[in-house]
C-alpha cells in the first residue's frame, strides 16, 4: 500500500490476524489504540492486553445512507460491541439487516474485511 501506515493500521492488522488487543495503563484503565497515554489518567505506561475472543453487541443501527465508498452495501447493520473493557464499532455480518435477529447481548467475534481500498471491522454472530 502506498498510503502511510498508522497506528490504527497496525491495530487492524492485529485484528485481522486474530491477535486483537487493547491497552491497559498501570492504573487498570483500558483503552483502544492508537494511544500514547491513558485517556483516563494520562499514564504513559500502556501495556498490550489480548482482546477477548468474544464480544457482546451493546447497540446497533441500520446504515441506509452510508459513506459513498460503501453505498453498494447499504442497508447494513452497524454495531457497537464490548470486548471485555473496551468497545469496538463494526459491521454486523450474517444477519438480516431488516430482521429482528440483531439484539443487545448477541455474542459476536471480530474480524476484518478488505475491499480494494478499504478495510473495515466486522462482527459475526457466534
Ligand atoms: Zn489510566
pTM: 0.87
Give me ligand 1 centre to Cα 104, in Å: 28
Q: Which residues surround ligand 1, an ion (CB under 5 A)?
A: 25, 27, 29, 38, 40-41, 43
Give me ligand 1 centre to Cα 81, in Å: 22
Q: In the beta sheet, which residues pair with residue 89?
A: 80
Neighbouring residues of 101: CB distance < 8 A, sequence distance ≥ 6 = 95, 125
> Residue 1 has what pLDDT?
46
Domains of the chain as residue ranges with CATH: 1-51 (no CATH), 52-125 (2.40.50)
The label of the residue with cell 452495501 reads: 73
Question: 30-51 burial by CB neighbour count: b if 16+ within 10 A, else e?
Answer: bbbbeeeebeeeeeeebeeeeb
The label of the residue with cell 452510508 reads: 66
pLDDT digits (tens, 9 = 90+) for 81-111: 999 999 999 999 988 867 677 889 999 999 9
Stretches where the chain sits below pLDDT 70 are: 1-4, 97, 99
Amino acid at each position: 500500500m502506498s498510503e502511510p501506515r498508522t497506528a490504527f493500521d497496525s491495530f487492524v492488522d492485529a485484528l485481522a490476524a486474530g491477535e486483537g488487543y487493547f491497552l491497559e495503563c498501570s492504573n487498570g484503565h483500558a483503552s483502544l489504540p492508537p494511544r500514547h497515554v491513558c485517556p483516563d489518567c494520562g499514564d504513559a505506561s500502556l501495556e498490550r492486553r489480548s482482546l477477548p475472543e468474544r464480544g457482546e453487541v451493546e447497540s446497533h443501527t441500520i446504515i441506509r445512507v452510508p459513506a459513498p465508498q460503501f453505498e453498494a452495501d447499504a442497508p447494513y447493520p452497524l454495531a457497537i460491541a464490548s470486548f471485555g473493557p473496551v468497545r469496538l464499532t463494526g459491521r454486523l455480518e450474517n444477519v438480516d439487516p431488516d430482521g429482528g435477529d440483531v439484539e443487545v447481548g448477541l455474542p459476536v467475534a471480530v474480524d476484518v474485511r478488505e475491499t480494494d481500498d478499504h478495510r473495515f471491522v466486522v462482527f459475526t454472530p457466534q
